[in-house]
Structure 1
């Protein structure tokens, strides 16, 4: 996608999200961040506009996406709180409407797609998530279904265990199985940003790892 100038970010106050925000700023983008607790956000930059609200609130999401050319989300499930993944995608897709706004969303490797050929390790991790956190697993799966049934320009990035060393290294990508067991948050951020201008994985859910 050419001509992207302003990007909406959801989950920018989280550990992975802060890598995303910093890398986007270095590339010169203007950002709109949806934050539930803006008072706790420490990144200061005149290119950041903050929208105080929750991704589960359709009005807040509509305000966030107003004037934005793309939306990146690293929002995760909050312990003991309402389910996030599927409702967030519904709210975001409704706010996008018919506009050509690309939506890149982070997910775990436990999400299944029809073209997967998950190996033993990925299948084991998927089953662990399905049995240990069945409600969260099902909600993330529902999020994928919401995207797959839409006409939006979406990419769901599936990742294994996330490290927070900030060390960039080679990123392996696969459409059928996780190519590794871990990935650094800095590489997740870089890959997600790369999807703004790359149609290789459009309307697909690639696995990435180091």
Structure 2
């Protein structure tokens, strides 16, 4: 993968760091957007750090320049501006200008699509998110709408409760319902990186979970 460079947003987070480890372990070059690069402790000749915020379109374009694919594990930080939809708008604008097609990003299982057939547990989790964090839920739902109307080869990976471990157990995948209540960050990282060479989920929103 020496000639394949990945733009990574969210690489400073707990899941994002595991995605980064998987990428560099497989030989990918990575440009990583960080708000506080002085606090970052991962060092590798395969990593290039870009200082900036996902809400800043100039920083996002700088990050994506020279890359072939984009991965975002950006999460919503407490008491900060909504990030999901605006980050995706910034990313899609830069991707269009730079003629980059592949975009993989994470979301919770609460995001709804027209292709869902959510079971009772997934419906309950979705409704809880809608009632407890209505603005965050609406922003994530807006992100799906933005993606659906875009021309890029996107995959929105939907996940249940994340266990922040590197353990990689059996991962179950479904396009219409979440089949488990949790997923390890290691499994997320493995699945996300595999999507860079897997065309099975283009313009789709698979659920992944551990049984």
TM over 0.5: yes
Q: CA deviation at 1:3?
A: 8.8
Q: Aligned partners of 1:26, 1:136: CA distance in 2, in Å?
A: 33
Q: CA deviation at 1:4?
A: 6.1
Give the Cα–Cα distance (whole angstroms) in 2 for the partners of residues 154 and 117 of structure 1.
21
Specify the alignment match of 1:118 in structure 2: 118
Alignment pair present for 1:21 and 2:20: yes
SS in 2 for 1:173: strand
CA deviations on 1:84-136 (whole Å, 9 max, x unpaired) are 00001100000000624310000000000001000000000000000000000
**Equivalent residue of 1:12, what SS?**
coil
Partner of 1:38: 37
Q: List 4+ stretches of structure 1 deviating above 3 A.
A: none
Q: Give deviations 1:167-192, integer Å, cap 9, x for gaps.
A: 11111000000010001001100100
- Segment of structure 1 superposing worse, 172-181 or 92-101: 92-101
The corresponding residue for 2:75 is: 76
| C-alpha distance after superposition, 1:116-157 (max 9, x if no partner) | 000000000000000000000000000000000111110000
Match runs of 1:56-95 below 5 Å: 56-95=55-94
Residues of 1 paired with 2:101 and 2:11: CA distance?
A: 19
Unpaired segments ≥5 residues, structure 2:
none
The alignment's TM-score, normalised by the length of structure 2, stands at: 0.97
**TM-score, reference length from structure 1:** 0.97
**Aligned residue number for residue 156 of structure 1:** 156
Contact 2:172 2:179 in 1 (8 A): yes
Residue aligning to 1:132: 132
Q: Which residue of 1 aligns with 2:200?
A: 200
- Equivalence for 1:9: 8
Number of residue pairs the alignment of both structures matches: 209
Unaligned runs of 5+ in 1: none
